[in-house]
Amino acid sequence: MTKRIYISDLHLTTQRSFAQPGAWGWTDAQDIATLATFLRSPTVRGCDEVVLVGDIFDQWLCPIDVPPPSVAEIASAAHNRPVMEALRDLRKVVYVPGNHDMRVTAADVTAAIPGARFMPDGIHEPGLRVEHGHRNCLFNGPDPTNRPYPIGYYLTRLSATGGNRNGKQPHTLQTIIDNPGKVIELLSGQGRLGEVVVGALLRTLGAEPHPVGLDEMILMPDAAPVKVGDVASMFATLYSDWNDGPGHARDAIRNELEPWYSLPWPATEVVILGHTHSKVSDPRTRYLNVGDWCGAAWKYDADGAPTRHFATTEQTPGQVAYALHRWTAGEPRVVWSDKLAVH
């Protein structure tokens, strides 16, 4: 029997504003403590493998005037030490990258977590499919025209800048599409998509006490700086780019809200994803989304204890047993479970 545990969206970063949680990093001190306790628990230590389902080392959430951190810098940051030491003490770790760590390499991962297995395409085994969930998403998936980064990268950098300057949690994609008219405009392809989306975010940031200027430069990790005012035109044709490339742009926008829309759904697979930061268990489709382990409004239970979610599978010849669990007050609690016969 092979027993695995799956967690996603840790979003570890250098987070130089760590003393003020939420300014431009999602993971705060309590998140780190909760995660480290979980990783050292018998629940995790009794598993054969711990699978990290993407957005682990966050190289996106970083202000435009700060050089994006390397994996080595994130892994060695003092505030991340409890989590990194716990990961290194595990029997086996499998690393599946997401969008915020899409440039992470096998060498990066094994240097940070010696012995970890890097699986850039996810896990595809009889009866089981594990991916981060971003690949077919319009804002965060690999760019259809091979731009070095998707539009979501620039949106995240701009949001982090606004958060850093104004001392509050960064804006999210939901801020951009926060009214029905804007959603309809995006889904119908009206206008030039990059200009619509980037313009909406910049207007939001521009209303803050310390706005982001169009003439400011975005420091890039591996290329020349990019002017903020040029980002909108860079992605103006994004809608048609997707229609001419990997799939319909309307579907790719929908996939941002729930990535399982884009996956094949044979009755012979359990599917485990992350990306949305919202846990899901759907017995009709054998779908588990493991949510996140970083700051969010719904991260506490009724008693005020930090609450996160994880999935497990137990694979034996001819069967996959799978479950979604809640981790709260230092204890696991099953949310939903079932078994799948594998032929």
Going along the chain, which residue ranges are E strands? 2-7, 49-53, 93-96, 117-118, 123-125, 128-130, 217-218, 226-227, 270-273, 280-282, 287-289, 307-316, 319-328, 331-341
- The SS3 of residue 118 is strand
Lowest mean pLDDT among 85-89, 211-215, 224-228, 278-282: 278-282
Lowest mean pLDDT among 43-47, 116-120, 129-133, 304-308: 304-308
Task: Report the percentage of the chain scoring pLDDT > 70.
Answer: 87
Which CATH class name applies to 2-136+266-341?
Answer: alpha beta
Phi, psi of 171 (to 5 degrees): -65, 155
Lowest mean pLDDT among 8-22, 37-51, 110-124, 165-179: 165-179
> In which residue are the tokens 């966050």 written?
58
- Residue 185 confidence class, pLDDT cut points 50, 70, 90: low
Q: What tokens were used for 314?
A: 């137990």
**Pairwise CA distance, residues 53 & 133, whole Å:** 9
Q: What tokens were used for 5?
A: 């545990």
- In contact, 273 and 259? CB cutoff 8 Å: yes
Among residues 159, 132, 163, 10, the alpha carbon closest in space to that of 79 is found at 10
Half-sphere exposure of residue 120, counting CA atoms within 13 Å on the CB side?
10
- In contact, 36 and 83? CB cutoff 8 Å: yes
**Pairwise CA distance, residues 249 & 29, whole Å:** 38
Among residues 275, 263, 309, the alpha carbon closest in space to that of 290 is found at 309
First to last CA, the chain: 16
pLDDT at 119 > cutoff 90: yes
| Res 21: pLDDT | 52
- In contact, 322 and 7? CB cutoff 8 Å: no
**Pairwise CA distance, residues 97 & 170, whole Å:** 22
Among residues 197, 205, 142, the alpha carbon closest in space to that of 171 is found at 205
> H helices within 235-311, ranges in order?
238-244, 249-257
The predicted-structure confidence for 81-116, as pLDDT tens digits, reads as follows 999 999 999 999 999 999 999 999 999 999 999 999
Q: Report the length, in residues, of the chain.
A: 343
Q: Where in the chain is the domain with CATH 3.60.21.40?
A: 2-136+266-341
- Residue 188 confidence class, pLDDT cut points 50, 70, 90: low
Partners of 1 in the β-ladder? none
- Residue 296 confidence class, pLDDT cut points 50, 70, 90: low
- Residue 194 confidence class, pLDDT cut points 50, 70, 90: confident
| Res 202: pLDDT | 86
- In contact, 287 and 280? CB cutoff 8 Å: yes
Mean pLDDT of the chain: 87
- Residue 251 confidence class, pLDDT cut points 50, 70, 90: confident
The predicted-structure confidence for 297-330, as pLDDT tens digits, reads as follows 456 666 666 689 999 999 999 999 999 999 988 8
pLDDT at 19 > cutoff 60: no
